[in-house]
Amino acid sequence: MPYSLIFKEISSKISQKYMYLITAYYQQLREMKISREGFSKKLRMIVGDNHLLKTTITAPQRLTHTAMKMEPVTGGC
């Protein structure tokens, strides 16, 4: 699951202060100042394993249900 989707899902469940920390750590990951493993550990410490697990399980399900409700776009005149 992409980090952007995880961030979107957890942002409403944690304080703005913690979201700021996660964003700062993510920037360090992008700048290769910390490893992916290091970032994951920090994310797990802040959010907690239970919330991350719930997010990674329920977010894709919601996306699938949303996509199923959308009508297909057909080309034509």
Determine the pLDDT at residue 60: 54
What per-residue confidence (pLDDT) applies to 67? 47
21 domain-assigned? yes
Over residues 44-67, the mean pLDDT reads 69
| Count of the separate structural domains present in the chain | 1
In a domain, 8, yes or no: yes
Q: Domain of residue 54: give its range.
A: 3-63
Q: b/e string for 47-67 if b means 16 or more Cβ within 10 A?
A: beeeebeebeeebeeeeeeee
The amino acid at 5: L
User: pLDDT by residue (tens digit) across 2-43?
Assistant: 888 889 888 888 899 999 999 999 999 999 999 999 999 999
pLDDT value, residue 63: 52
* 55 within a domain of the structure (yes/no): yes
Q: Is residue 73 part of a domain?
A: no
Residue at 68 is within a domain: no
